[in-house]
A and B are shown apart, each in its own frame.
Chain A
Amino acid sequence: MKELLQLYAVFFRIGGLTFGGGLTMLPMLKYELAEKKGWVTEEELLDYYAVGQCTPGIIAVNVSTFVGYKRKGIIGAIFSTLGMISPSLIIISILALFLEQFMSNQIVVHAVAGIKVVVCALMLNTVVTMAKKSLVGGLCCVIAAAAFVLAVFTPVPTVLLVILAGILGVILYKAGGLKV
């Protein structure tokens, strides 16, 4: 029971402190789950993101379900996901009453402008540390660069890029060019 409550609490914190949704919670996930708790490795977080991209639903929820399931099975998955969505439920329900006033409040506008800048710095920080960990060897660098270029300059859907990368790994393994 204690770990279930911990799962709820950790994801409540992540859900409640992430601005901009989805990917912007990566710095928080990395800090809370990989560095502080040691519940998952950074490689596993990347795997969860990969699967989350190719499966239906919101990525944040997919990742929390994955981590919860890994720790405590189905009930863990449910507690993590409930933790992740609780802050939104509370905040949006309160805000729904006076949305216009909130959005035009000058203090909120200034605070959000500052938060945006920090989120940009945090995201850069995360992608740099992730690259250092996951880009081992020339092949990895080529794949990462190819995925980046294709995603920025062509309309190839993200799902397809993830699947193609997976197929490439299988082909290379079969051809004997990849040791796992």
Chain B
Amino acid sequence: MKVFWDLFIEFFQIGLFAVGGGPATIPFLMDLPNRHDWYEKADVAKMLAVSESTPGPIGINMATYAGYNAAGFAGGIAATLSLVLPSIIVIVLIAKILDKFNKNPYVKAAFFTIRPAVTGLIATAVLGIWETALFTTEDGSFQFPIGSVILCAVFYVVMNLKKLKKLHPAFWILCGAVFGIVFQM
């Protein structure tokens, strides 16, 4: 039973202190092997790669993986639930407060200027995603894969065609997977 308690304590802490989403959990995950033998430090890099190839948030995937190694399927569930518990508590509290103050002009003014800032930040993140997904080779140096860049542009144009605009994003993801397999990308 002690392993479940340890998983709870460790992942609850990560969930509570990792501010800024998935990537913010990485330093905490690198620190964990210093105290527990659930996985090795090198596994974190491997897990990052796996998370790119499997659906789901990276932090959740990593917690599941660590918990699974520590105590099987139940361990995976324990670690993941512990990781999300602080978020649920904090966000429910904030949602309650926002409900109360969303008519307040100061809160409205703050969100009015926060929204464009977040759009700018999302654009930054998209740039980061492009950089890792398209322009970085496996050993970390710069590349310009002309074929992939053109394919990306073609996909962008096609998904904005009037008749195709309403298609589920998952359809395009599936197309991408088929393309990748057929053309041995």
Contacts and interface: CB of A to CB of B under 8 A. Distances in A.
Closest 7 CB pairs of A and B: A114-B180, A57-B87, A118-B176, A147-B120, A169-B113, A88-B56, A165-B117
Contacts of A59: 21-22, 57
Contacts of A151: 120-121, 124
Interface residues of A, number: 106
B146 interface: no
- The size bracket of the interface on B is 35 or more
A8 interface: no
B121 to A, nearest CB: 5
B180 A111 contact: yes
B100 to A, nearest CB: 13
B114 interface: yes
B156 interface: yes
Contacts of A61: 57, 60, 84, 87-88
B91 A173 contact: no
B118 A56 contact: no
Given A118-B173, A145-B120, A31 B133 contact: no
Interface of B: 15-23, 25, 46, 49-61, 64-65, 68-69, 73, 76-77, 80-81, 83-84, 86-88, 90-92, 94-95, 98, 105-106, 108-127, 129-130, 133-134, 148, 151-153, 155-156, 159-160, 166, 168-170, 172-173, 175-181, 183-185
Contact of A120 (B117, B133, B160): B133
A132 to B, nearest CB: 10
A22 B169 contact: no
Contacts of B177: 111-112, 114-115
A23 B92 contact: no
Greatest chain B CB density within 10 A among A118, A139, A151, A164 is at A118
Determine which residue in A43, A147, A170 has the highest number of CB atoms from chain B within 10 A of its CB, and name it: A147
A37 interface: no
Contact of B120 (A87, A122, A148): A148
Contact of B181 (A110, A118, A126): A110
A47 B111 contact: yes
Contacts of B179: 114, 117-118
